Structure 1
């Protein structure tokens, strides 16, 4: 279950995914298999070829894509999550969810 996001943010992510664009959605998340992890970033796109290419370009194995629902996505957690949010210049998400070291807004 997603915590810390609005219905508007979720709908904007879904819309971008449906348009075949890479979309990022970070939210609070609790999973007992990952102690200490408090957030997750879903990287989604309904065009599977674009999403698979994005995974490969970022050193991620497309075999771990979540294909079980209407919005295919890759779950980013931990250091890789922070690395990619920085690479994608998603400073607002880094600051909002207090990820990594102190980031100065651009």
Structure 2
């Protein structure tokens, strides 16, 4: 279950993706499969090769991309890996 984001933030994330940028969207999230994790960061890009190269530098596999028919394919970052990647990207405001 996702919460803690608004439509403007989602629109801005989608716009960046549409422009071929690597885009980040962090929101609160609860899933019983991941106890102790309370946020997820979705990292998307319309250029899937660019997204795969970005992910590779953090040890993320191309097959881990969540492919979406609507064009907003993305990696899901959670837990310690999420925090580590956001810190390396300088996105401290995404760390809650």
Superposed, 1:62-81 pairs within 5 Å as: 62-70=62-70, 71-81=72-82
Tell me the TM-score normalized by structure 1.
0.85
- Tell me, in whole angstroms, the C-alpha distance in 1 between the residues paired with 2:94 and 2:49: 26
Higher Rg: 1
Corresponding residue for residue 38 of structure 2: 38
Structure 1, residues 51-105: CA drift from partner, whole Å, max 9, x if none?
01111111111111100332010000011100011011111112xx2xxxxxxxx
Gaps of 5+ in 1: 98-106
Gaps of 5+ in 2: none
Superposed, 1:15-94 pairs within 5 Å as: 15-70=15-70, 71-94=72-95
- Tell me, in whole angstroms, the C-alpha distance in 2 between the residues paired with 1:14 and 1:20: 10
Structure 1, residues 8-44: CA drift from partner, whole Å, max 9, x if none?
1110000001111000000001111111111000000
CA RMSD in angstroms, aligned pairs only: 1.0
Corresponding residue for residue 100 of structure 1: none
Structure with the bigger RCO (C-alpha within 8 Å, sep 6+) is 2
The 8 Å contact of residues 23 and 45 in structure 2, kept in 1 or not, is answered as: yes
Tell me the TM-score normalized by structure 2.
0.93
